[in-house]
Copies of this chain bind each other. A is one copy, B any other.
Amino acid sequence: MLTVFGSTALDTIRTPKKTLKNVLGGAATFAAISASNFVDTGLIAVVGKDFPKQHHKTLSKYLDLEGLSVENGKTFRYDGKYDNTLSTRSTLKTELNVLADFKPTVPEAYRKSQFVYLANNDPEQNTELIKEFDKVKFSMCDTIDFWISTKRDAVIKMIKSVDAVVINDEEAKLLTKEFNLIKCAKKMMQWGAKYVIIKKGEHGSLMFYDDVIFPTAGFSLEDVVDPTGAGDSFAGAMIGYLASKKSTSLSEIKKAVVYGNVLGSFAVEKYGLDGLLKIKNGDITKRVKMYEKMIRF
**Which A residues are within 8 Å of any B CB, using their own CB?**
84-87, 179-183, 186, 200, 202-204, 206, 213-218, 220-224, 251, 254-255, 257-258, 294-295, 297
Taking A215-B218, A217-B215, A218-B215 as contacts, is the C-beta distance between A297 and B254 under 8 angstroms? yes
A selection of 5 A-B contacts at a CB cut-off of 8 Å is A180-B222, A181-B202, A182-B222, A200-B203, A203-B204
The closest CB in chain B to the CB of A206 belongs to: B220
Q: Find out whether the CB atom of A179 lies under 8 angstroms from the CB atom of B86.
A: yes
Bound-complex Cα distance A181 to B204 (A): 14
Cβ 8 A contact of A297, one of B179, B204, B221, B258: B258
Q: How far is the CB of A172 from chain B (nearest CB, A)?
A: 13
The closest CB in chain B to the CB of A253 belongs to: B297
Bound-complex Cα distance A204 to B218 (A): 10
Q: Find out whether the CB atom of A179 lies under 8 angstroms from the CB atom of B295.
A: no
Q: Which of A180, A217, A257 has the most CB of B within 10 A?
A: A217
Cβ 8 A contact of A204, one of B87, B182, B217: B217
Q: Which 4 A-B pairs have the closest CB atoms?
A: A215-B217, A254-B297, A203-B203, A182-B222
Q: Which of A213, A222, A297 has the most CB of B within 10 A?
A: A297
**Contacts of A182 on B, CB cut-off 8 Å?**
220-222
Bound-complex Cα distance A255 to B213 (A): 21
**Contacts of A257 on B, CB cut-off 8 Å?**
297
The closest CB in chain B to the CB of A223 belongs to: B180
Q: How far is the CB of A200 from chain B (nearest CB, A)?
A: 6
